[in-house]
Amino acid sequence: MRLSAAILAACLALTPAHLRSLREEQWRADLLDGPGMGISTYALLLGAACSSVVSRLHELKQRGGMIMSRIIKGENMKLVLGAVGTAVAMAAVVAVGIQANASTVQDDAYQAKGPVADRPIAGYEGWWNSTHLDGTPAGPAETVAVNTNTGKIVDYSNMAKNAAGQTVSAADATYVVVPDPTWPASSIVIIDTATDKVIEDFPVDEKGRVIYTREDGTTFVG
């Protein structure tokens, strides 16, 4: 296994389970396309490592009350210390690996998983399905992502289930979509299921990949 792949695997292992699939899709795409856009593999891996550490610390903070209660009561001390110790150890492994990777000549043929076109879209992430540093939701309690070309739900987020560590997918959504002719074509619209309002939208290509616009007006698929 190449060093880059090993570091990526460590970042994914450190990432909370309910975010792992989405993060893997994003990071593999970044590692595949980033170097061609002038972004070094070192910088991409460093970003992945920071994101995984922050996500894990945030999860530990959310569980802080339960952990502190166990410590105070003296219950499951080994389990608590083991969980924290594992997170710290894995963060150290990732950091050391990145430093080593920075001094290693990169293999131009390295690909995280194959062409972008061959990889399914794992979902979409934004403020609507994120949380603040204090653990409070940044977006609505429940949202669905709808492809305006098909009118189908392609992603689903439920804050309560995410906080409980449950993995959800578009198939879990019970929301009934009513297509609106004013929706932008070839886009994803994020709908707050409690209000039926579109709270975000962004263009995508025929495979559902997000289309980004640079400052000079040119676009690229992410």
Token digits for 1? 């296994």
CA-to-CA separations, 50 to 37, 94, 104, 154, 217, in angstroms, rounded: 21, 10, 20, 28, 30
Q: Are 93 and 3 in contact (CB under 8 A)?
A: no
pLDDT of residue 73: 52
Query: In this predicted model, what pLDDT tens digit does every residue of 28-51 receive, in sequence order?
Result: 877 777 776 777 777 778 888 878
- Convert 128-149 to b/e letters by CB count within 10 Å (16 or more is b): bbebeeeeebebbebbbbbbbe
Q: What is the pTM of this model?
A: 0.51
pLDDT of residue 82: 55
Between 150 and 130, the more confident residue is 150
pLDDT of residue 41: 79
Distance, CA of 222 to CA of 214 (rounded, Å): 12
Between 60 and 47, the more confident residue is 47
Q: Is the pLDDT of residue 116 over 50?
A: no
Portion of the chain with pLDDT greater than 70, in percent: 69
Token digits for 148? 């305006």
Distance, CA of 77 to CA of 62 (rounded, Å): 18
Between 192 and 90, the more confident residue is 192
Q: Is the pLDDT of residue 113 over 60?
A: no
Cα dihedral 66, 72, 73, 74 sign = positive
pLDDT band, very low/low/confident/very high, at 96 (cuts 50, 70, 90)? low
Query: In this predicted model, what pLDDT tens digit does every residue of 81-93 receive, in sequence order?
Result: 555 555 555 556 5
SS3 189: strand
Distance, CA of 74 to CA of 126 (rounded, Å): 39
Per the DSSP assignment, residues forming a β-bridge with 216 are none
Q: For the chain, what is the mean pLDDT?
A: 76
SS3 150: coil
pLDDT of residue 150: 94
SS3 16: coil
Q: Is the pLDDT of residue 101 over 50?
A: yes
Alpha-carbon torsion, ordered 208, 213, 214, 215, to 10 deg = -160
Distance, CA of 128 to CA of 139 (rounded, Å): 4
pLDDT of residue 142: 97
pLDDT band, very low/low/confident/very high, at 16 (cuts 50, 70, 90)? confident
Q: Is the pLDDT of residue 110 over 70?
A: no
Between 163 and 66, the more confident residue is 163
Q: Average pLDDT in the 208-216 region?
A: 89
Q: Average pLDDT in the 119-124 region?
A: 64
Distance, CA of 120 to CA of 132 (rounded, Å): 28
